[in-house]
C-alpha cells in the first residue's frame, strides 16, 4: 500500500510542480532573487528534478543519470518548456522505479547514506516526498513574491 500511495503522490505533486513553473506570468521571473530569498523558483525546480532522478531513478531504478548538483543552483534562464520536459522525464523515472519495487525492497536499508545516517528505503522515500513538497511550497511563495504588483 505504501508503494502505491507514494507512486500516486509523487506523480501528483510533480504535476503540481509543472503547474507552478507554468504559472509564472513572465518566464524571467522564474530566475529572480529577492532579499531574503536564497534560490529562484527555476533553480528549486532543477534541484528537485536532479534530486529525484538521482536518489530514486539512478540509485533505486538503475536509470542512467549523472547528477551535477552545483548546476541545479547555478544554471539560469533555462526555458520553461525545457524544465517541464525534465519534470515529465522525472515523473516517468520515479513512477517506473516505484512500480517495480517490492515491499521487501523498501524494508531494506537504502543503499547510500545521503542524510549521514542509515535508514530504510521506505523512510528515505518519505523524506524525498517531504523534500519535494517543501520546495514546491517555496516555489509557490517565490512566484507570488516576485510577481506581486
pLDDT at 81: 98
Helices (H), the chain: 2-22, 41-52, 69-74, 80-100, 103-107, 121-146
pLDDT score for 77 = 95
- Count other C-beta atoms under 10 Å from residue 60's C-beta: 21
Each residue's pLDDT tens digit, 51-81: 999 999 999 999 999 999 999 999 999 999 9
Q: What fold, for 2-146? A: 1.20.120
From residue 77, how far is each of 1, 26, 27 by CA, in Å?
Answer: 40, 12, 8
pLDDT given at position 142: 97
CA dist 54 → 46, 94, 95, 146 (Å): 12, 10, 14, 30
Residue 39 contacts by C-beta under 8 Å, 6 or more apart in sequence?
33, 47, 73, 138, 142
What's the grid cell of residue 91?
515523473
| Model pLDDT for residues 74-100, shown as the tens digit of each residue | 999 999 999 999 999 999 999 999 999
SS3 label, residue 109: strand
Instruction: Note the pLDDT of residue 36.
Output: 87
Amino acid at each position: 500500500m505504501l508503494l502505491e500511495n507514494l507512486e500516486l503522490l509523487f506523480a501528483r505533486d510533480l504535476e503540481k510542480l509543472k503547474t507552478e513553473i507554468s504559472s509564472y506570468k513572465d518566464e524571467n521571473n522564474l530566475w529572480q532573487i529577492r532579499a531574503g530569498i536564497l534560490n529562484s523558483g527555476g533553480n528549486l525546480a532543477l534541484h528537485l528534478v536532479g534530486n529525484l532522478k538521482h536518489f530514486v531513478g539512478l540509485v533505486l531504478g538503475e536509470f542512467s543519470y549523472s547528477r551535477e548538483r552545483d548546476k541545479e543552483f547555478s544554471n539560469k534562464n533555462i526555458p520553461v518548456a525545457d524544465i517541464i520536459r525534465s519534470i515529465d522525464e522525472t515523473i516517468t523515472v520515479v513512477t517506473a522505479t516505484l512500480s517495480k519495487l517490492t515491499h521487501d525492497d523498501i524494508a531494506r536499508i537504502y543503499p547510500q547514506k545521503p542524510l549521514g545516517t542509515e535508514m530504510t528505503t521506505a523512510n528515505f522515500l518519505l523524506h524525498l516526498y517531504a523534500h519535494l513538497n517543501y520546495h514546491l511550497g517555496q516555489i509557490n511563495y517565490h512566484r507570488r513574491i516576485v510577481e506581486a504588483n
